[in-house]
Structure formats: C-alpha cells, structure tokens
Chains A and B, each alone.
Chain A
Amino acid sequence: MAVARPPRSRRKQMEAIALYPLDWLEERSGLVGAVKYFLFRKVPGDTNWFQTLGSATLTAFLVQAITGVILAMYYTPDPNSAYESIKHITNDVTLGWLVRGMHRWGASVFIILMFFHMARVFLFGAYKYPRELNWIIGVLLLVLGMLEGFTGYLLPWDQTAYWATVVGINLNGTGPIIGPFLSSVLRGGSEIGPDTLARFYSIHMLVLPAAIMGLIGLHLYLVIRLGVTSPPWSKKAAGAPWIEEDEPEQPARKGLVEPTPRGGAAK
C-alpha cells in the first residue's frame, strides 16, 4: 500500500522511504503498533519516583545478564581452573575487573532494589485486586533472585565461596523429607567437587535466568494490562474510593477543565 501511493513532494517522498521499513514490519508483525501502544498507553497522571523502582530492578537484572554473558566467555567451571580463570578475568582481561565487579556488585544492587520495589508495592497497597497474581510472581522473582545469589557465590571457587556453600548445602539437608535429597542433588554426590561446580554453574546461568526472564515477561505483561496504581496519598488517585466520597465537588471543577477534552493531550 505504502508503495502504491503516488509521491507528491520530495519531502513526502523521503518520508515514505524512511517509513517504508516500519510499514513493512508493521504489516508483517504488528510490532510497531505494539511498541506504540506500550509507549503511548495512558498511565495515571500522578505516578511518581517510587514507581521507577520496578524498572530500576529490571535495569539491574539486564546489567547482570549482559555482564554474565561476558564473564561466561572467560570463566571455566572446573575446580582445577575456575579460581585461575577468575584471577585471569580480574587481572589480565581488558576491563575484566570492571565486568566482574559490575556483576558482583550488581547482584547486591539487584536484590536491594527488589526489596525496595516490593516495599513500595506494599506501602501503596498495589498488591490488591486485581493485581494479586503480579504480587505472587514478584515473590517468586524475589526467591529466584536470591537463589541466583546463592549459586553464583560458589563460582569463584575460593575459600569463602567453598565453605559458605558447604555449610549452605548442609543446612539445606536439615530440611524434612526432601532436604537430604535436595542436598545431594545440589552436590551431585556426597562431596562438593567438579559435579557441584558444574551444577551450580548451569543452574546459575541457564535455569534460573531463563525462569526469571519468563517471570519478568509475565510481570510486565500484567503491569501493562492492569496499569499501575496511583500513589494512595494523591488527591487525583485513579479509582480511589476515598476520592469518590468528595464527588459533589467534582462537577464544578470538571466544568472548568472541560473545554480541553480528550483530543488535546491524547495521542
């Protein structure tokens, strides 16, 4: 269709050329429309800085994903060379120290941000109907995020890593019924050794990240579908029963604002 249009001015022609790839993509996938919907969907007018904590958490996770991929290019998950590869990354590889440092400290930042984000959701009462499911997904993300921390801790294969994991796995074994089973699965035998390291590595960089990415996808889908909650203290909070109570005042004010209806700001 875009091609069939007769070109009018040179400007129009340039525009058509520039937009052609987008039209092509939109016609075949609907992705352009989806992105437009994402960007221009309405959110409550009173959202504030506390509500950036979720996307901040997402950013921290992305930092982990990217630095993790780079570390995986140099790290060897084998007890004989894991420690040496960590030293090599820290001391020899160009900017290796930065990538490793970002991954190491990004983990702490990611976990702190998850707790802060959860605190904001709790204090805003944003877990209430119809967002219960997103709260549950959030709790799962919190648990999986902490497990990422636990499995990643062993990988440098130094004394701290090793002995913290020995005790961590053993504590796990004190659990009833599945405790001892879980411990031996984690260990991959009766001793912490090559199998343990390989297992932790695979869980740390394949199993958990895949699960976390899937859950983040669902989490964001629900955020977009249901919308974010207005701050509870806001005088203009969307869908708030306590503002309804003052409804009698509304008509008068509405009358003043009415002259600029939807058309103006809305896109």
Chain B
Amino acid sequence: MSSIEERRRLFAKYKEDVKTRGKPFFPNAMFHDTVMSLVVVSIIIGLAIIWHETANGTTAGLLGKEYDAKADSGTFSFVPRPDWYFYFLFYLLRIFKWPDSVILGTVGVPTICLVLLLAVPFVDKRTERRLSRRPVAIVASILVVISMGVLTWKGATATESLASENVKKVPTWIKRNKLPPAAVPGANLFAQIGCLNCHSYLGTGGGYSGAPDLSAEGSKGKGIAFQIAHLKNPASVNAGSPMPSFATLGDQRLHQLAVFLEASKGGK
C-alpha cells in the first residue's frame, strides 16, 4: 500500500509525462478505436445474418430459433432457460442445497462477488501495476475466469429433458422405487409435463434452476394434502419458492402427481 501523498505525486508525474511525451488522441488512438468499432459492428451484422439465414421461425439454425412457440401459461413442456450470460448465475443455484442454503446461491454469492468487485480499488492501494509483481491479482483473475467459464459451460450443456425420453424411464422408476400401481399415472405425468426440466428423479432430469432431487420426496412424510397444495401454489407452503404454479392441471391430475411423489422413497 502506498501513501496518498505518494499516489498524488505519481499522478502529477503521469500528467507531466503525458504532456511532454504523449500523442494527441486524433489521429492515432482514434484510428484504432474506429477500426475496432467497425469490427464490432461487422461481427454483430454477421451474427444477425447467420441467425436469420440458418434458422426459420421456430426451426432452430446455427444460432438457435428466431422465436419459440407463443407464450402459454397453461402448458408445462417448457425449459426455463435464460440467455447464455446468465447461465453462470442459474447454474450456481445447483451447487447449493435446496431449500436451506439456496439463498446463498440467489443472493449470497452474487452479492459477495459484487461487493468484492466494487471493493477492488479500495483493497489494492499499491501503485504497482506490472502483472509480474501482482501475484494476488493474477491468481484472482484466473480463478474468476475458470469458475465463470465452468459455470457457463455447465449451464450450456445441462441436459434438456425430453418428454418422450423421460417417459421411457418410468418402468425403471417403478422397479427401483417399488412404485404401487396407483402411483403409475402420476409417474407418467411427472415424466412428461416438465417437472424434470428443473428437478431430477433417480438420475434423470435436472435443469437450470437448482430445484431439489425428488427421488425420495415421499420419505419426508409431508402427505398428499401438502403435495397438492404445493403444486397449486408452491410459494404458499414453501415461502419464497421460485417454482411456478401447476394449478391448471386440475384436481384429478394433481392428485395423481401427489400419490406418485408420496410413493417415491428413493430406492437404491
């Protein structure tokens, strides 16, 4: 850490050095800026063209679909997938255990990171700027790049669960979790309506939002009534739950799902 007097003196020297040895912004630096800006605009136009040329409406091309089907709050075959630059945040949630410590993922870690980022110039008060003399800065930036990279990659490659694939798993679930016949309609529903886009069950599914594994949901002893109430309005029984409501499924199907969940005891 350098004293404020030292830092002031060096900044005065900086101003002096620039005055005596500096170059005017125009034309040199401005030329570089202009070239770079043209490159940026070309890349943006290029991406727009590739997107449009290879995709066709809801048919995905190299850069994905131009648009998905129209929003429908009544369907459940959705994948709540954010834009790629939020993958690291979403994936962070899966590292924490639902529901006790998930707040660390939604609020805790991001807040700490933001505070640390804001604190950088107040923590590092040395005048040293050469990387070879800033080992802490080097290690910190490598760690940040690796963890952001890994989280983004994990988020990007997290498997999307397809209803048609999931439903093939139902027989295995029946065997491994010894599901009674009454639980089978619920299991089929569960496999197909999108629960597995967030939750995992005996190794299938699991998505972006850090929802808990449900293989052993039945051993918690919560009961059918709780399960139905929860599906209708998750936040009413689990304060602050981010899970969307499934009330539109109707009483009969909600009951089937509840029976299935209560019968799931996490077989080995």
Q: Which of B51, B78, B83 contacts A153 (CB 8 A)?
A: B83
Q: Given A104-B51, A129-B7, A130-B11, verify A135-B72 contact (CB < 8 Å).
A: no
Restricting to B1-42, which residues have a CB under 8 Å from any CB of A?
4, 7-8, 10-26, 29-30, 32-33, 35-37, 39-41
Q: Which of A43, A83, A109, A125 contacts B67 (CB 8 A)?
A: A83
B128 close to A159 (CB less than 8 A): no
B223 within 8 Å of A (CB atoms): no
Report the bound CA distance from A244 to B2 in whole Å: 16
User: Closest CB of chain B to A91's CB: distance in Å?
Assistant: 7
B52 close to A42 (CB less than 8 A): no
B225 within 8 Å of A (CB atoms): no
Interface centre among B25, B44, B72 (most CB of A within 10 A): B44
Measured between beta carbons, the chain B residues less than 8 angstroms from A164 are 80-83
Measured between beta carbons, the chain B residues less than 8 angstroms from A150 are 82, 86
B29 close to A167 (CB less than 8 A): no
Contacts between the two chains (Cβ within 8 Å), count: 277
Given contacts A42-B24, A44-B18, A101-B49, 16 further A-B contacts (CB under 8 A): A42-B19, A42-B22, A56-B40, A86-B67, A97-B48, A98-B48, A107-B83, A113-B40, A139-B117, A162-B72, A170-B244, A191-B73, A238-B18, A239-B15, A239-B17, A244-B13
B189 within 8 Å of A (CB atoms): no
Measured between beta carbons, the chain A residues less than 8 angstroms from B73 are 162, 191-192
A8 within 8 Å of B (CB atoms): no
Restricting to A163-193, which residues have a CB under 8 Å from any CB of B?
163-164, 166-168, 170-176, 179-180, 191-192
Q: Which of B36, B72, B80, B240 contacts A52 (CB 8 A)?
A: B36
B264 within 8 Å of A (CB atoms): no
B70 within 8 Å of A (CB atoms): yes
B242 close to A125 (CB less than 8 A): no
Interchain residue pairs with CB less than 8 A apart (30) = A40-B24, A42-B18, A45-B21, A55-B33, A56-B37, A58-B37, A59-B37, A59-B41, A60-B40, A79-B71, A101-B48, A101-B51, A108-B83, A125-B124, A125-B129, A126-B129, A128-B129, A139-B118, A156-B68, A158-B67, A159-B75, A159-B78, A160-B68, A162-B72, A162-B78, A163-B78, A167-B80, A168-B86, A229-B129, A232-B131
